[in-house]
């Protein structure tokens, strides 16, 4: 299957700082990528759809100014958690597809801990 890589795998930061998570499609081009958040023992929650060359589309209840998404190229989308607080501590996962509906490839996830 296609490969999606995230970096960093885990990050610890102080409250009030911003953290950037990268999501790369290594062997395919992704015009659309998706960002999810997962709290412990809960399911994945879709946060936003990242569109190459245009603004991201956020799900209801997700603060776009808090979670900045940039999709500057067909192989890279970034999620920046701005002014992070302990409640933002979570497992963030990205995904992308090769254009075939329904077949998504997920990254390994990035675990954020805000102290």
The C-alpha angle with vertex 15 and arms to 12 and 19, in degrees rounded to 5, equals 55
Q: Which of 11, 68, 70, 91 binds another protein (CB under 8 A)?
A: 91
Contact status: 1 vs another protein (CB under 8 A): yes
Q: Within 10 Å of residue 86's Cβ, how many Cβ atoms?
A: 9
Ranges within 19-48 binding another protein (CB under 8 A):
32, 34, 36, 43-46
Which is closer to another protein, CB of 16 or CB of 99? Answer: 99
Q: Which of 106, 112, 114, 115 binds another protein (CB under 8 A)?
A: 106
Taking the mean position of all CA atoms in its chain, how far away is CA 63? 14
């Amino acid at each position: 299957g296609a490969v999606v890589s995230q970096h960093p795998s885990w990050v610890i930061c102080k409250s009030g700082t911003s953290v950037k998570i990268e999501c790369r499609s290594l062997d395919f081009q992704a015009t659309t990528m998706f960002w999810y958040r997962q709290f412990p023992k809960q399911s994945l929650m879709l946060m936003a759809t990242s569109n190459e060359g245009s603004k991201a589309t956020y799900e209801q209840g997700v603060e776009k100014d808090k979670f900045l998404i940039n999709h500057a190229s067909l192989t890279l989308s970034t999620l920046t958690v701005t002014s992070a607080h302990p409640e933002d501590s979570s497992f963030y996962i990205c995904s992308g597809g090769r254009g075939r509906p329904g077949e998504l490839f997920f990254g390994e996830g990035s675990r954020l801990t805000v102290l």
